[in-house]
A = this chain, B = another copy of it.
Amino acid sequence: MGKPPTTLRDIAKALGTSIGSVHRALHDNPGVSPLTKERVLLMARTLGYRPNLAARYLSSKKTLRISVITLQGTTSFWDEVRTGIRQAAGSIPLENVELDFRTHPRLGEGDEEAFESAINDNVDGILTFASRPQVLRSWIRRASRAKIPVVCVATDAPGSGRLGIVGIDTLASGSIAADLMGRFHGTREGSIAITLFDMGITEHAEKCAAFESTLASFYPNLQLLKPIEDHDVEMESYNKCRKLFEKFPNLSGVYVTTEASIPVLNAARDAKVLDRLTIITTDLFPDLIPHIRSGAVAATIYQRPRAQGQIAFRMLHEFLVEGASRSHQVALAPHLVMRGNLDFFLHRQSQDSFKEKVHEAQEPAHGLAEDFA
């Protein structure tokens, strides 16, 4: 078996100093001479000191405040992410975690303000959706400089100094979509369209590339058209699709890489091409359900928002508590939803949200108000 773990006392004794100084040194609190600090740090390392979390929680009364800066969203995606975060926070056995939801209504509206207020409040950590990486990068950097770790959900902000990122594996998503498209379509010739938010978003460009590459390797009978950018604007999506359907009457499939599938479906319906298209969408939300049931949507790639929220929370929490986490990049495998297994996913969603309501009723949480407004 192992020998008993090193404690603050052990370090203090070994150095002939006091437990108080050791503590201050390890937390670089004010009031330690550089010399003692150095010696303590060294000794802690050589003795392999690991703080005893139980003791820490017991004696310290402070609570971790985590700010969740996300989008309201037009589908349930971000609601699910927030639910996942709440669930994960609720299942931390000891520890008081306070979640601070700063939900902004629209893309690029209020996100900067939310960051500013979170940093001013000096929260302990931030979970966020880096909707506009180029704009938010500097905010994330500011947070990091203020020693506030930031974990991005769904979309990465590369080069921003963020602590970590949790998202769906873009390669797996794009590839499985292509594979399904190819198998569903058979061996005859055809052309396929793909829609996305903007090629400037890393994740979207990657999905697109993966889709294209898998299609090219395994299904050379299918030709991929130039990607359609919708910028999450309904009319833009609808109009571009209408044009597309007119221009390519032999179109045989569409892969919608974002949540914005409803305008595409409407355009297809209005152009009367719905029943000869193989449509593969992304995510699962109420408005999409009838289209899956009817078979108009052959399959949808579910990005597991709840799991993303849970994992992002755990990653941040682990870092805050242990000072490190085992992995700072998590790429989840998406789930595939079709007519047959649709009910499984719907049932699970509703069951979980029921459970959560019960939980909240027993134990009213803090900072949740705006999330239900």
Point out residues on A near B: beta carbons under 8 Å: 1, 52-58, 91, 93-94, 169, 171-172, 175-176, 178-180, 183-184, 186, 210, 214, 218, 295, 298, 318, 321-322, 326-327, 331, 333, 335-336, 338-341, 343-345, 348, 355, 359, 366
Task: List, in ascending order, chain B residues with CB within 8 A of A172's CB.
Answer: 341, 344-345
Complexed CA–CA distance, A333 and B302 (Å): 11
Which of B52, B91, B336 meets A94, CB within 8 Å? Answer: B52
Residue of B nearest to A171 (CB): B344
On whether the beta carbons of B341 and A175 are closer than 8 Å, the reply is yes
Distance in Å from the Cβ of A88 to the closest Cβ of chain B?
Answer: 12
Select the residue from A178, A333, A355 with max chain B CB neighbours within 10 A.
Answer: A333
Complexed CA–CA distance, A179 and B318 (Å): 40
On whether the beta carbons of A179 and B218 are closer than 8 Å, the reply is no
On whether the beta carbons of B339 and A218 are closer than 8 Å, the reply is yes
Residue of B nearest to A1 (CB): B366
Which of B169, B295, B338, B341 meets A171, CB within 8 Å? Answer: B341
**Given known contacts A1-B366, A176-B336, A55 and B53 CB-to-CB distance under 8 angstroms:** no
On whether the beta carbons of A55 and B58 are closer than 8 Å, the reply is yes
On whether the beta carbons of B338 and A179 are closer than 8 Å, the reply is yes
On whether the beta carbons of B183 and A183 are closer than 8 Å, the reply is yes
Distance in Å from the Cβ of A257 to the closest Cβ of chain B?
Answer: 15
On whether the beta carbons of A340 and B93 are closer than 8 Å, the reply is no
Copies in the complex: 2
On whether the beta carbons of B355 and A94 are closer than 8 Å, the reply is no
Which of B52, B327, B340, B366 meets A176, CB within 8 Å? Answer: B340
Task: Beyond the given A91-B318, A169-B344, A172-B341, please list 6 additional residue pairs across the A-B interface where CB-CB is below 8 A.
Answer: A172-B345, A175-B341, A176-B340, A186-B186, A214-B340, A335-B335
Task: List, in ascending order, chain B residues with CB within 8 A of A295's CB.
Answer: 218
Which of B55, B169, B336 meets A336, CB within 8 Å? Answer: B336
Which of B93, B339, B366 meets A179, CB within 8 Å? Answer: B339
Select the residue from A184, A321, A322, A335 with max chain B CB neighbours within 10 A.
Answer: A335
Task: List, in ascending order, chain B residues with CB within 8 A of A183's CB.
Answer: 180, 183-184, 298, 338
Task: List, in ascending order, chain B residues with CB within 8 A of A339's CB.
Answer: 179, 214, 218
**Given known contacts A183-B298, A184-B184, A321-B93, A340 and B58 CB-to-CB distance under 8 angstroms:** no
